[in-house]
Amino acid sequence: MTDRIEKVEVRGLLGRENLVWLLLPDVNILAGRNGSGKTTLIRALAQLVCEGAFSEEVGRLLEGMSVTFADGEVLICGQGHAATGHRIDTIGSFDGRRTDEFPPLPVRGRELFYELIDERFALTGKRIDRESDELRFDSPWGKLTPAQLSAGERQLLLIFASVAAQGGRQAILLMDEPEVSLHFDWQSTLIDDIRRLNPHVQLIASTHSPAVVMNGWLGHVTEINDLISG
């Protein structure tokens, strides 16, 4: 099974626009002004591929969507079924998950996850406690749980844990504004860090932050207005 989305087609986004988005196999970043429909598109895409239908709220904001996978599978809103056999993860305000809830980590990639978190948390003196049965951190102030970390630290932890849980396999990661609460330096290395944890992931994300793409990913940015097909 090839876990790649090749094309997303949208009808009547915000009641007016039809869009066609041809996706790259690695990194796809959607940009645009506030209110242009970026979050709605990412949210609708996540709901269609994961649940097979839109929520009532999202359904009021667009007329329809179809998603074409690299293996030929096509999902169309209204058919009532989600994607089959694809590894798809979502991170955003729409997924209802708290930033202190983390997926279990497979053995493969676990140490790389630990190393990367330690690197990013080093300036505040925090390290993952390898001896603990649960996710805990050594710090200058003693042992810390994930809930005791800052909002930005929890956000980074959630993103890295979600990618590490993919175990290095082909997968799709949908994210809406992942830069929320992240320091500029963490934003600028985010895509590279995700690809370091799993070079086989297809990233599809929206962002308002130039820092997210400044480290060599400008060519992967698509303005939502450029997708309008008439």
Minimum mean pLDDT range among 90-94, 171-175, 202-206: 90-94
Residue 119 has pLDDT above 70, yes or no: yes
pLDDT band at 1 (very low <50, low <70, confident <90, very high): very low
Q: For the chain, what is the mean pLDDT?
A: 89
Q: Average pLDDT, stretch 70-96?
A: 72
Domain ranges of the chain: 5-227
- Look at the block and give the residue holding tokens 């007329």: 63
Q: What is the pLDDT of residues 191-200, one digit of tens each?
A: 999 999 999 9
Percent of the chain with pLDDT over 90: 67
Could you report how far apart the first and last alpha carbons of the chain are, in Å? 33
H/E segment holding residue 144: strand 142-144
Q: Global pTM?
A: 0.91
Under 8 Å between Cβ of 215 and 191: yes
pLDDT band at 32 (very low <50, low <70, confident <90, very high): very high
Q: What is the pLDDT of residues 142-154, one digit of tens each?
A: 999 999 999 999 9
**Neighbouring C-beta atoms of residue 53, cutoff 10 Å:** 16
Q: Average pLDDT, stretch 173-184?
A: 93
Q: Reduced to 3 states, what is the DSSP secondary structure of residue 185?
A: helix
Minimum mean pLDDT range among 9-18, 33-42, 75-84, 117-126: 75-84
Q: What does residue 187 show for φ and ψ, rounded to 5 degrees?
A: -60, -45
- Look at the block and give the residue holding tokens 């969507």: 65
What's the distance, CA 45 to chain centroid?
12
Q: What is the pLDDT of residues 199-218, one digit of tens each?
A: 999 999 999 999 999 999 99
Which tokens go with 77?
């809103």
Topology of the domain comprising 5-227: Rossmann fold (3.40.50)
pLDDT of residue 78: 67
The Cβ-side half-sphere exposure at 199, using a 13 Å CA radius, reads: 2
- Look at the block and give the residue holding tokens 């690809």: 195
